[in-house]
Amino acid sequence: MSAVVNSSAELLEDPAPERPRFVLASASPARLKTLRNAGVEPEVIVSGVDEDHVTAENPGELARTLATLKARAVVSTLTDHATVLGCDSVLEIDGVAYGKPGTPEVARERLRMMRGRSGILHTGHCLFDTYSKQEFRELASTTVSFADLTDEEIDAYVETGEPLVVAGSFTVDGLGGPFVEGIEGDYHNVVGLSLPLLRRMLATVGISWPSLWQHRTFEYDEDEAAKYDETRGGPARALAAAEGVQRLLPGGGRVLELAVGTGIVAAELVALGNMAHGIDLSPAMLHHARIRLPGHVAAADATRLPIADRRCDAVVAIWLLHVLEDADPLLAEVSRVLRPGGVFVTTTEKSEASRVADGRTPKEQRSQDSLALLVARAAQYGLTLDAATTFTGHNQARGGGTDPIYPLVRFRRTGS
């Protein structure tokens, strides 16, 4: 069998992208949603800064100081370059700063004080760019006018729990929206992040806003390909992945790895007794794969495999599906080239596994390697889930966290 695939398995995991690595140093769901609605999917790393013991000369400077501390705390944990945004919001009324109330009693007292009045919502922004070693600190301020709430409305709002965990004890984009009579300034700033200000800050470090919309590309030059394995966990992670795959493979068959990359995982599969082949679209990656798997790799697209029907005993995809916009064409090809009873082994929930290990919140948007979605899609092509295992992503812990545990699942080709 001549083998061949799409950009490399490990290449697809985390290539050197045109889109900058952009990190949000905040646990705020509202800030994350604001960025996502604007077409930006940041990496979220929570800073862990204790906000209760930070002081400043005025409310605006307090917001800016807290944002700076958050950004710097996250930068200190990074092992590679990124552009990090820290934010913090503070409500000012009569020169006094109000953050999160924390308890129902404090929230109730503040809302009674705020009703029928206006305040200034300050959001501090700190952008730290490790590439250029530059830090920018800015403040956006918006005047907010509050409705004259009744005691019953205040009690009911406090009982929801929402005002306890937000700056100023209110939201404009949630249950508190009807209690905001008007805004003078940037609406998004009241939510927790000024998009126009952020756009200007990014421009100062050479990042255009539209560049954050761009999909990742998977082109590598020779220097990047040469360094790729050592920056992705090296032999330890490759062996762990191969051993996980091995537990799900039928013995003694022909294995095709899609997006083979440098061939580091496929080579381990050969050492474990398999006849492994691989495909990729990156010439630089294939150069290294051909050294590890001479005569057994080729350039090809995973959605248009140059392989006859029913020729493969197993097809493997490591860290590939999660970067696809639509997995259906790939699943259709896998089904076509597998013999009846053959298996498709793939990683699943890759991003979620990394987020769990890092202590981050789940992504709102479901990726193509989401298990429930994958099971349903695969079934349309006669691929039935019948086994699973896991392996450890050695040397992939971030910021002092633990190495992620990656799920591997097996689908069996049914029918004739």
Q: Which residues are catalytic?
A: 88
Rg (CA), the chain: 25
Residue with tokens 């209760």: 52
Question: How many residues belong to the chain?
Answer: 416
Q: Are 373 and 361 in contact (CB under 8 A)?
A: no
CA dihedral over 322, 325, 329, 332, signed as positive or negative: positive
User: Taking the C-alpha atoms of 73, 74, 76 and 78 in order, what is their torsion angle to the nearest 10 degrees?
Assistant: 170
Give the integer Cα–Cα distance in Å for 375 and 386: 10
Rounded distance, CA 280 to CA 299, Å? 5
Token output for 249: 């493979």
Give the tokens for residue 10. 């490990």
Tokens 């992208």 belong to residue? 17
Report the Cα 308 to chain-centroid distance in Å.
Answer: 36
What are the φ and ψ backbone dihedral angles of 187, each rounded to 5 degrees? -60, -45
CA distance 301 to 154: 59
Computed from CA positions of residues 292, 294, 299, 302, in that sequence, does the dihedral angle turn out positive or negative? negative
Residue entry with tokens 């009579």? 181
Tokens at residue 80, please? 């590679």
Closest listed residue to residue 346, CA positions, set 302, 311, 399, 305? 302
Longest dimension (CA), the chain: 78
Through-space distance between the first and last CA atoms of the chain, rounded to whole angstroms? 20
